[in-house]
Structure 1
Amino acid sequence: MRLLILTNTLDCLGENDAVISNAFRRSGCEVVLGEVNSIAADDYRYFTRGVLLRAKGLPYDVGSSALGDRGPYFLDECHLVWVMSRPQDRVARDVWQMLWLASQHAAFVNSIEGMMFLNTKHALGHLVPKENRAFSYTSNDFSLLWERYRQEEDQCWVAKPPNGFCGENVFLLPPKGPNVRAILQCLTGTIFERYAITPGSALRGFRADYAILQRFIPEVAQGEKRVLVACGKALAWYGRQRHPDDHRSNILQGAKPIPVDLHSGEIELVELIGQRLMKHGINFVGVDMAYPYILELNMDDPGGLYDAGLVSGVDRSDKVAELMINRFESAVLRKRCHPPG
């Protein structure tokens, strides 16, 4: 099997780039690392700049550079494609379009449709049972969110962008908080202020950002857990201990990974979500939870395997490779019987 991992850079491998490529190489697979932002077409056959990793030798470390001759690799000549990183905003539309077209002729670990439409907080309502998700409002109208908050201003709320990640612009809104109005205005684009300061600014372009107003979940104070689910199976997990000066549990925001256990209810819940995602072509996901609530689903480059291995001493990447190879081996056989061209 030849696996193509599409990532942002070949000069500084991320956690999943290194850990997963090492696991597939140990399984006897060829691994190509390619640049997701360099997708191109040769007479409508899609390729990327990449490196075929050495079949043998030392494993790659996080932060290392992909060694080898760099050249073009066609997606339809790979048995399996794993989009590990989302493309940069400037080229995202073109890249997603070309990747979707390429996916008609190559197997993808996570479907382009799934990554485009389910890799967002909007999707929790579709994938997570009602009793396992926090009550929330979504709008790009500041006045609507502000009115909702005022109707229950004795509650503690969280406000955040639906497509943010790594804890970016996630705000804790206390009961009757003095800055809540300003925060909601900021998250939705401060459009009224812009129009007042610069009359006619509406003609310069639409500006009304979406935000989610979500009831605060007390269970979060006890700590969040990140669970990696591969082919519907919970494989690795760890807890996230918040920085004492921050309400967010993101590692990038100062939280620390800690060893934790999962009880049967937690495993059952994340595997239910994993099975639902597989129906949409999503076979690898990071699930953030504070049981009984699901907080977020992460489908592009979800951290977890590396940190879970550090805190538990158990590397589960070989099991990920085994599950993926078994799931997609029929696609490999079809490819061998019907090579591209």
Structure 2
Amino acid sequence: MRLLMLVNTLDLLDENPALLSNAFRRFGYEVVLGEINAIAADDYRYFTRGVLISGNGDASHHGSAALGDRGTFFFDECQLIWVMSWPQDGVARDVWQMLWLASQHTPFVNSVEGLVFLNNKHALGYVLPKENRASSYTSNDFALLWGRYRQNPDQSWVAKPPNGGCGQNVFLLPPSGPNVRTILQCLTGNTIAQSVLDYGGVGGFKAEYAILQKFIPEVAQGEKRVIVACGKVIAWHGRSADPHDHRSNLTQGAKPIAVELDSNEVGLAELVGRRLMAHGINFIGIDMAYPYIIEFNLAYPGGLYDAKLVSGSDRSDQVAELIIARFKS
């Protein structure tokens, strides 16, 4: 059996391909790490550059280059494909189209449809029960978001792009904040200023979408990253934010910490996992400040490595075992 993991680069592996490629090899799989941005077709047979992981024991390491034989690998010669990264913007449309076509013949751990349509903040209202999500407003019209903010003068908000990640452009908006108007203009494309600078809009359509979400006080008590595979909670850790930042993303200076996960939190995470499985999503990372879920990550959810650091337990074998059983059935 051969598993193809599609990653951004073969020269600097992040935690998921490093840990999970070793886990699948321990279960007898061949593992190929392939470049997601190098997908091509030979008479409509899809392939990419990659590395067939070789050697005994752990041949892939977090932060190192993939070790093994480099070559060209065809999708239809693999029995399972796992998208572990997001294609670059310039080639994303073509990559997703080819991946969808490939998925008609070879199973994907996380479906292309699910990755494209559910890996964003728009999907929270579709997946989550109302009591487990913060109220929010989405628009590319600055005036609408500004009006919503002003209707609730005592409310704190968070403003962010619906398809951002790693804490990019996530702003905390306090009541009567002096920069709120500017921030909302910026997030929606600065259309008023651009229309003046472009002499009536000759520069083209500039509007961008933003989400205005009610601030959740529970976030101040700390978020938890929960890894769910095939509807089962596998690993988790807490995140302690930098004291000078409201964001708890590890990429923004937060630190992973050991925490407990109670039965209510496990139940909510597994409910989300089961709902996403109905759309072909079998591996996710959930950001939770119970009873709220802040967001979920489907393409390359971190958490396994940091959970291992704080707990001393590597749960990658449990993930591999669940995925293998899922696709055997």
The TM-score normalised by the length of structure 1 is: 0.95
- State the identity %: 71
Give the gaps of 5 or more residues in structure 2.
none
**Other structure's SS at 2:233 match:** strand
Offset of 1:14 from its aligned partner? 0.8
Match of 1:335 in 2: none
Match of 2:166 in 1: 166
Find out whether 1:325 has 2:324 as its counterpart.
yes
**Other structure's SS at 1:177 match:** coil
Match of 1:207 in 2: 206
AA partner of residue 235 (structure 1) = I
AA partner of residue 199 (structure 2) = P
Match of 1:307 in 2: 306
Match of 1:246 in 2: 245
AA partner of residue 140 (structure 1) = N
The TM-score normalised by the length of structure 2 is: 0.99
1:91-240 matches, cutoff 5 A? 91-200=91-200, 202-240=201-239
Q: Is the 8 A contact 2:24 2:31 kept in 1?
A: yes
Moved more, 58-67 or 224-233: 58-67
Alpha-carbon displacement from aligned partner over 1:51-103 (angstroms, at most 9, x marks no partner): 11015244421111112232111111111100000100000000000000000
1:65-104 matches, cutoff 5 A? 65-104=65-104
Moved more, 85-94 or 321-330: 321-330
AA partner of residue 9 (structure 1) = T
Find out whether 1:316 has 2:315 as its counterpart.
yes
AA partner of residue 75 (structure 2) = L
Offset of 1:300 from its aligned partner? 1.0
The runs of at least 4 consecutive aligned structure 1 residues that moved more than 3 Å come to none
Offset of 1:242 from its aligned partner? 0.4
Alpha-carbon displacement from aligned partner over 1:185-239 (angstroms, at most 9, x marks no partner): 0000001011123313x23221110000000000000000000000000000000
Offset of 1:153 from its aligned partner? 2.0
2-side partners of 1:324 and 1:27: how far apart? 11
Q: What do you get for the CA RMSD once the two structures are aligned?
A: 0.9
Alpha-carbon displacement from aligned partner over 1:242-296 (angstroms, at most 9, x marks no partner): 0000000000000000001111110000100000000000000000000000000
Number of paired residues? 329
**Other structure's SS at 1:85 match:** coil
1-side partners of 2:198 and 2:104: how far apart? 48
AA partner of residue 301 (structure 1) = Y
AA partner of residue 309 (structure 1) = K
Q: Is the 8 A contact 1:229 1:285 kept in 2?
A: yes
2-side partners of 1:4 and 1:55: how far apart? 17
Q: Is the 8 A contact 1:25 1:55 kept in 2?
A: no
Q: Is the 8 A contact 1:240 1:249 kept in 2?
A: yes
Moved more, 204-213 or 243-252: 204-213
Alpha-carbon displacement from aligned partner over 1:147-176 (angstroms, at most 9, x marks no partner): 000000210000000000000000000001
Find out whether 1:286 has 2:285 as its counterpart.
yes
Q: Is the 8 A contact 2:60 2:67 kept in 1?
A: no
**Other structure's SS at 1:69 match:** strand
Alpha-carbon displacement from aligned partner over 1:111-163 (angstroms, at most 9, x marks no partner): 00000000000000000000000000000000000000000021000000000
Offset of 1:241 from its aligned partner? 0.2
Moved more, 65-74 or 111-120: 65-74
Q: Is the 8 A contact 1:242 1:254 kept in 2?
A: yes
Match of 1:339 in 2: none
Give the gaps of 5 or more residues in structure 1.
331-341
1-side partners of 2:219 and 2:306: how far apart? 20
Offset of 1:39 from its aligned partner? 0.5
Q: Is the 8 A contact 2:35 2:49 kept in 1?
A: yes
2-side partners of 1:138 and 1:48: how far apart? 37
1:4-19 matches, cutoff 5 A? 4-19=4-19
